[in-house]
Amino acid sequence: MKAPKLGLAVVAATALLLAGCAAGDTSGSDGSGGASAPAGGDNSGMKLCMYTHGDGGGFWSVAKKGAQKAAADLGVSFDYQESNNDAEAQAQLIEAGVTGGCQGIAVSAPNPDAIKDALKGATDKKIPVVTMNSGSAVFKDLGAFTHVGQDELIAGQEAGKKFKELGVKKVLCPIQEANNIGLQQRCDGAKETFGNVENLQLSAGLADLAKSQAEVQAKLEADPSIDAVFALNADIATAAAIPAAEAVGRQLQIGTVDLSGDAVQAIKDGKLAFAIDQQQYAQGYMSVVLLYLNKLNGHELGGGQPMYTGPGFVTKDNADLVQKLAEAGTR
């Protein structure tokens, strides 16, 4: 896909930032998610924070690396915490960050209602907020000046178009997290452009991949008309959808959202037709950059619109390059 025009603002902001960074050793990390500032760095008194619904898995570990790298490049104090899909815990992390001296906060927002009061506590104190990964449709309601990520509805629409090109008849869309509006939007988008899409709410999701496989397999056995699966997560694709299809002995077209080393290998092996890459390393990196520029120079980049990092497609055509990057932990 062509990159959205707002992506140019992301590139320009990065170039501006890196051109102005002072030299120094910025590779340190405190081992707990906080990147340490270089000794004597001018920015060491600035504390930026990121509180996500992440679970420490293949996707969020890459987003975290991007955020940590940005903090290290900038020489700022950085606090990264995850709530493991617990919206109440995420709200508590935000509240603790506000009282703990965060000067800028980036959050994912799969359940906006659960964190809106905590974020109001931040904005009431004039702490700048950026949403990232999830929340592109509601970031303004949460007081954020921009959002970094992909539009989940558009991602689903593009997946639906891809399934049409593959010539399938019915797509199963398993949802691995309850109350995550972004996942629902992906299925909705696929339904808009493809049509015959059936959702399946997984009871355990990523917490029990064997159970998720069993639930996908049971659905495939019960409905032989399903000839494609739109997995909304790379681990669901490789550890649930692919083995479920193999167990029922059917040749299904399987696509996924997000990347992992296993997912890219599955694309190369012909077991996955495609993966939608929302480039989570960039989401983490750019969220920190945007908060830094706001504190440094009062910038509110994005023009009141989201800054899109996706969707883009990984297929056999570019899988070799992406595999090298995924193995390095940056894709």
pLDDT tens digits, 38-83: 333 578 899 999 999 999 888 899 999 999 999 999 999 999 999 9
How much is the pLDDT for 324?
Answer: 86
Judged against a pLDDT cut of 50, whether residue 33 lies above it is answered with: no
Judged against a pLDDT cut of 90, whether residue 179 lies above it is answered with: no
In three-state secondary structure terms, 271 is: coil
Judged against a pLDDT cut of 80, whether residue 35 lies above it is answered with: no
Per-residue pLDDT band at 28 (split at 50, 70, 90)? very low
Average pLDDT over residues 287-302: 97
How much is the pLDDT for 31?
Answer: 35
Per-residue pLDDT band at 330 (split at 50, 70, 90)? confident
Per-residue pLDDT band at 326 (split at 50, 70, 90)? confident
Residue 200 DSSP code? E
Residues 156, 162: Cα–Cα separation, whole Å: 10
Average pLDDT over residues 2-7: 41
Residues 131, 50: Cα–Cα separation, whole Å: 9
| Cα separation values, 86 from 90, 111, 115, 123, 232, Å | 6, 9, 11, 22, 19
How much is the pLDDT for 325?
Answer: 86
Over the stretch 186-216, which tens digit does the pLDDT of each residue have? 999 999 999 999 999 999 999 999 999 999 9
Per-residue pLDDT band at 260 (split at 50, 70, 90)? confident
Judged against a pLDDT cut of 70, whether residue 246 lies above it is answered with: yes
Average pLDDT over residues 3-11: 42
pTM for the model: 0.77
How much is the pLDDT for 205?
Answer: 95
Average pLDDT, the chain: 89
Q: What is the largest CA-CA distance in the chain?
A: 65
The percentage of the chain sitting over the pLDDT mark of 90, rounded to a whole number, equals 80
How much is the pLDDT for 66?
Answer: 97
Judged against a pLDDT cut of 70, whether residue 19 lies above it is answered with: no
How much is the pLDDT for 147?
Answer: 98
Residue 143: left if φ>0, alpha if ψ -120 to 50, beta else—which one?
Answer: left
Residues 112, 244: Cα–Cα separation, whole Å: 33
**Domains assigned to the chain:** 6-151+279-310 (3.40.50.2300), 152-277 (3.40.50.2300)
Judged against a pLDDT cut of 80, whether residue 10 lies above it is answered with: no
Judged against a pLDDT cut of 80, whether residue 21 lies above it is answered with: no
Average pLDDT over residues 226-252: 97
Per-residue pLDDT band at 218 (split at 50, 70, 90)? very high
Per-residue pLDDT band at 261 (split at 50, 70, 90)? confident
Over the stretch 106-159, which tens digit does the pLDDT of each residue have? 999 999 999 999 999 999 999 999 999 999 999 999 999 999 999 999 999 999
In three-state secondary structure terms, 259 is: coil
Residue 51 DSSP code? E
How much is the pLDDT for 6?
Answer: 43
Handedness of CA 127, 148, 33, 115 (dihedral sign): positive
